[in-house]
């Protein structure tokens, strides 16, 4: 159930949001799905294309595809390992990946042995990426991340390995893959190809933040952790179609948003460690945001690691 805090703001229970991605992704946006639904539903006609230039775990793209919130979805990801998963699922090897996950004999030794073996092909790279994502601390794929030791309830390395659930999610995506185009490459370049189309909308969630604290976190969490934020805002400001961006709360980001004609909405979140965090929703108009606040007031959501 979604509860109300004393100030009237809502805490989003992400257990009520369909979990569609096979990834347990740092900075995942499952908590934002109710707001994204509203954003995609406010226009008179359904967008012809939703583009997610930094797809990562892809929860927004998957939601749009599954719930018919856009005619087509374009997912873009530069990371070759993450890309391998999407290429596998959205290509011809999705069923193979699902069965590989089901048949894998999970143990600390088997995980280490598998991850020490160079992948022979793209589908083996995809499996190893999912395996690392589900057995590393916090789902972190960046170099230097270690394997889970204790995990939830003392389950150790298997505490985030749900083979039946992962198999189901992958096979569900296979069923709608004709609605999704995947591109392994530079999200900014892909954005630039669609700026003049009013029926194209962009959901932009860069896994790299502009402030110093965000840069340090980006280096820890992501293999690719630098982009040209000024160029991103320039492209977003030039788009004829609608753009929704999310960022860590940062004064530098706010200045860029204002310079390019965007409004912004701070949102407070609590992570799984009950630490209060802030993000920004950035869009030309934010009247569609549930329980809209005047500048300086904040809505509160619950961020869960899925």
Convert the pLDDT of each residue in 116-129 to its tens digit: 999 999 999 999 99
259 pLDDT above the threshold of 80: yes
- What value does the mean pLDDT take over residues 165-193? 97
**Per-residue pLDDT tens for 17-62?**
789 999 987 667 888 899 999 999 988 889 999 999 999 999 999 9
DSSP for residue 179: G
157/301 same-domain check: no
Query: What is the pLDDT at residue 18?
Result: 85
Q: What is the pLDDT of residue 6?
A: 36
Mean per-residue pLDDT for 213-220?
A: 45
Per-residue CA distances from 237 to 188, 212, 262, 298 (Å): 13, 24, 8, 25
Higher-scoring residue by pLDDT: 285, 293:
285
pLDDT of residue 267: 80
Same-domain pairing of 299 and 206: yes
Q: Is the per-residue pLDDT at 225 higher than 60? A: no
Question: Which pLDDT does position 16 carry in this prediction?
Answer: 65
Same domain, 149 and 252: no
Structural contact between residues 246 and 252, judged by C-beta atoms closer than 8 angstroms: no
Q: Which two tokens stand for residue 206?
A: 């860069």
Reading the block at residue 85, the tokens are 């998963």
Same domain, 23 and 65: yes
For 42, the domain range is 1-78+186-306
Please tell me whether residues 177 and 218 are part of one structural domain: no
**pLDDT number for residue 26:** 65
Element (H, E) at 245: strand 243-248
Higher pLDDT, 209 or 93: 93
Confidence of residue 144 (pLDDT cuts 50, 70, 90): low
Rounded to whole angstroms, the Cα distance separating 108 from 184 reads 31
Q: How confident is the model at residue 220 (pLDDT cuts 50, 70, 90)?
A: very low
Residue 301: pLDDT band (50, 70, 90) is very low
* Higher pLDDT pick, 2 / 251: 251
What CATH number corresponds to the domain at position 304? 3.40.50.150
Dihedral sign from CA coordinates of 87, 147, 152, 26: negative
Q: What is the pLDDT of residue 75?
A: 98
Mean pLDDT of 232-252: 95
What's the pLDDT score for residue 256? 95
- Residues 197 and 74 both lie in one domain: yes
Proportion of the chain above pLDDT 70, given as a percent: 76
How large is the average pLDDT for residues 79-104? 97
**Residue 210 pLDDT greater than 90, yes or no:** no
Residue 292: is it exposed, middle or buried by C-beta count within 10 angstroms (0-12/13-18/19+)?
exposed
214 and 305 both lie in a single domain: yes
Global pTM value: 0.84
Give me the CATH number covering residue 149: 1.10.1020
Q: What is the mean pLDDT of residues 172-199?
A: 97
74 and 191 co-located in one domain: yes
Judge if 72 and 193 occupy the same domain.
yes
The mean pLDDT value for 233-240 works out to 97
Beta carbons of 52 and 75 less than 8 angstroms apart: yes
Last residue of a domain, one of 184, 200, 222: 184
Is 304's pLDDT higher than 50? no
Residues 304 and 223 occupy one common structural domain: yes
pLDDT at 269 over 70: no
- In the numeric block, the tokens 């753009």 are attached to 243
Q: In terms of DSSP bridges, do strands 243-248 and 263-270 run parallel, antiparallel, or are they unpaired?
A: unpaired
Q: Which two tokens stand for residue 271?
A: 């992570």
Residues 91 and 171 in one domain: yes
What pLDDT was estimated at residue 278?
A: 75
């Amino acid at each position: 159930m979604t509860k109300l805090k004393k100030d009237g703001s809502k805490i989003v229970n992400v257990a009520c949001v369909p979990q569609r991605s096979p990834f347990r992704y740092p900075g995942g946006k499952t908590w934002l799905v109710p707001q994204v639904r509203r954003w995609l539903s406010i226009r008179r006609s359904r967008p012809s294309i939703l583009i997610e230039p930094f797809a990562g775990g892809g929860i927004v793209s998957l939601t749009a595809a599954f719930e018919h919130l856009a005619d087509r979805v374009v997912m873009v990801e530069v990371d070759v390992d993450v890309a391998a998963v999407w290429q596998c699922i959205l290509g011809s090897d999705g069923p193979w990946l699902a069965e590989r996950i089901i048949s894998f004999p999970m143990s600390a030794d088997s995980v280490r042995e598998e991850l020490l073996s160079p992948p022979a092909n793209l589908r083996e790279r995809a499996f190893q990426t999912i395996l690392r994502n589900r057995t590393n601390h916090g789902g972190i794929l960046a170099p230097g991340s270690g394997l889970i030791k204790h995990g939830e309830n003392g389950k150790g390395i298997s505490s985030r390995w749900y083979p039946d659930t992962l198999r189901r999610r992958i096979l569900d995506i296979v069923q709608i893959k004709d609605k999704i185009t995947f591109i392994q490459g530079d999200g900014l370049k892909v954005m630039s190809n669609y700026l003049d189309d009013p029926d194209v909308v962009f959901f932009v969630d860069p896994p790299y933040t502009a402030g110093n604290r965000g840069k340090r976190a980006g280096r820890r969490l992501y293999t690719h952790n630098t982009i040209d934020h000024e160029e991103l805002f320039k492209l977003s400001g030039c788009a004829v179609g609608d753009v929704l961006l999310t960022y860590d709360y940062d004064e530098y980001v706010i200045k860029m948003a204002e310079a390019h004609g965007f409004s912004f909405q701070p949102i407070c979140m609590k992570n799984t460690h009950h630490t209060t965090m802030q993000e920004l929703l950035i869009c030309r108009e934010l009247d569609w945001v549930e329980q809209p606040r005047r500048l300086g007031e904040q809505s509160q959501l619950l961020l869960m690691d899925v």
